[in-house]
Copies of this chain bind each other. A is one copy, B any other.
Amino acid sequence: MIRSAVRPGSYHDSVVLMQLQRGLAALPGVLDAGVVMATPANREMLAAAGLESDAEAGPGDLLIVVKAESGPAAGEALARVDSLLSLRRAGGGQGYRPHTLGAALRQLPAARWVLVSVPGRYAAAVAGEALDLGRNVFLYSDNVALADEAALKRRARERGLLVMGPDCGTAVVGGAGLGFANRVRQGPIGLVGASGTGLQAVASHIHSLGSGISQALGTGGRDLCGEVGGISALQSLDLLRRDPETRVIVLVSKPPEPAVAARLLAAAGATGKPVVVDFLGLAPPLRRLGALHFAVNLSEAAELAVRLSNEEEKVEESPERGGGFVRGLFSGGTLASEVRLGLQAFLPLSSQGHDILDLGADEFTVGRLHPMIDQDLRLRRLRQETEDPAVGVILLDVVLGDGAHADPAGELAPAIERALCGRGRDLEIVALVVGTDEDPQGLAEQMATLGRAGARVCRTVEEMVDAVWRRLAPGSTAVVEEGSPVPLEAIRAPVAAVNVGLESFYDSLAGQGLQAVQVDWRPPAGGNEKLAALLARMK
């Protein structure tokens, strides 16, 4: 016997809903109960749990479904919904609770942080209010529009404030855990992450290895998409760059968009500190790039960071800056694609700008010898590229061995020499030599020939990618180019905060012995969105 009820467009704290559901399920004769906002996903889940209801209800409506032994039992349960809903959550030591954010901040002016965990559709407005009041925001709420996120973050950047989130699950700021946070030792490792449990896993693992963290700054999962452009991540890297407690940085994120990745890694490189990077699911084919160290997973990120924090690593400033596009003219397909993947970590590749060509690909070899035998095509392209003043770096591979060209370096050298003569230090040619000291061409001679012609000679793809990184990575100029830097005070202890939303987050702040105020927040017009819109228009 299944019965349901709908409360249209009404708002209730998630904790209250959980308690309602448990209250209903505990009533005599009731087998199961479900209480959800009637989104398609939630209704599907109810159905899967045997609590299907055909009641008319939209995503903004509260849907209550009861499965009972009998009709009367179900009816009685539903009749108690309103009284159960009116029950306030028990406990909570705080006495008076301000009803507005403004009042809360007057009560606790030292609060530099506002935690926001109200439902997504109200969250941007509350976060915006916090920014207007000059406070940094920890925005736990999800289901916030991407455009709202971008707007909030731009506003924050203008004012030297930080917005962590939306959908930011965790942070540790000045030793205080915000949202979900593990209790970890203070230490030399600063974390930045577009990932909640990722940060928690790294922080916990660092703790279990005997080290500790200085700060853990969340950005929300969408910070690194093109629309937002990594604003929070860049601000966070800049904060950790200036933070004297932070000796090693860990950057955890889902694979960012290429243009954002480029800016992010440049900023990471510009911190002048060792940075461990874990792009979940997109490990570039590199272990290291200057002071950047790439990890393949969360636990490795933690282990690397601890190891680096125990070393007295000197991060050397690279003196070899330059510009121009990178053009690769490869004879080996796999070498080309490994170089491409390595560069993609920090350069957006396109056929107009930076580009890596595999001249041994099927399309180039119809009725033509492979470029490992016949370099004619490559020599032509080399001439073309060197004549293009927009090109700054040319990458070549030279593959030795039986079956290959008898003297590839000898044939390339005059072309390289001519190119470098004409362009000077404005152009760099990097050659990757694959071969052994037993190869018929003579490994040492081939390398010497290329070197004499002026090429920089590498033995691994990683070395080659590193050479490009050293030339093209921007220097430690200001990482946050727009807006104002976030003052270090934002992440200094003692932390005081105002909490708007989930009371468990207030409890957690209080449990850590921090100064905190809970706002007795209600949605505008009691959650009636039509009325709220009307009221907003009347303002």
Binding site for B on A (CB under 8 A): 12, 14-15, 17-18, 21, 36-37, 39, 41-42, 45, 48-49, 59, 62, 119-120, 142-143, 167, 169-170, 177, 179-185, 195-198, 200-201, 204-205, 207-208, 221, 252, 254, 280-281, 283-287, 294, 296-300, 331-335, 337-338, 341-342, 360, 362-370, 372-374, 376-377, 380, 384, 397, 399-404, 434-440, 459-462, 502, 504-505, 508, 511-512
Contacts and interface: CB of A to CB of B under 8 A. Distances in A.
Contacts of A374: 14, 18
B439 A182 contact: yes
A197 B434 contact: yes
A143 B143 CA distance: 50
A297 B422 CA distance: 35
B333 A402 contact: no
A498 to B, nearest CB: 16
A182 B400 contact: yes
Nearest to A14: B369
15 contacts: A17-B369, A18-B369, A39-B366, A42-B364, A45-B380, A180-B401, A197-B332, A197-B397, A197-B399, A201-B460, A221-B333, A254-B334, A281-B285, A286-B297, A298-B461
Nearest to A281: B341
Contacts of A185: 438
A193 B413 CA distance: 31
Nearest to A119: B367
Given A403-B508, A436-B207, A460-B299, A196 B333 contact: yes
A436 B177 CA distance: 13
Contacts of A460: 201, 205, 297-299
A180 B399 contact: yes
A37 B384 CA distance: 22
A291 to B, nearest CB: 18
A17 B367 contact: yes
A459 to B, nearest CB: 8
Stoichiometry (number of copies): 2
Given A36-B367, A296-B296, 11 more contacts: A41-B364, A45-B380, A169-B370, A170-B403, A180-B401, A182-B402, A197-B331, A281-B338, A403-B504, A403-B508, A440-B511
B332 A196 contact: yes
A59 B185 CA distance: 68
Nearest to A180: B403
Nearest to A197: B332
Contacts of A283: 283, 285, 296
A367 B42 contact: yes
Contacts of A195: 333-334
Contacts of A284: 296
A153 B327 CA distance: 37
Nearest to A205: B460
Nearest to A359: B45
Given A287-B296, A374-B18, A183 B39 contact: no
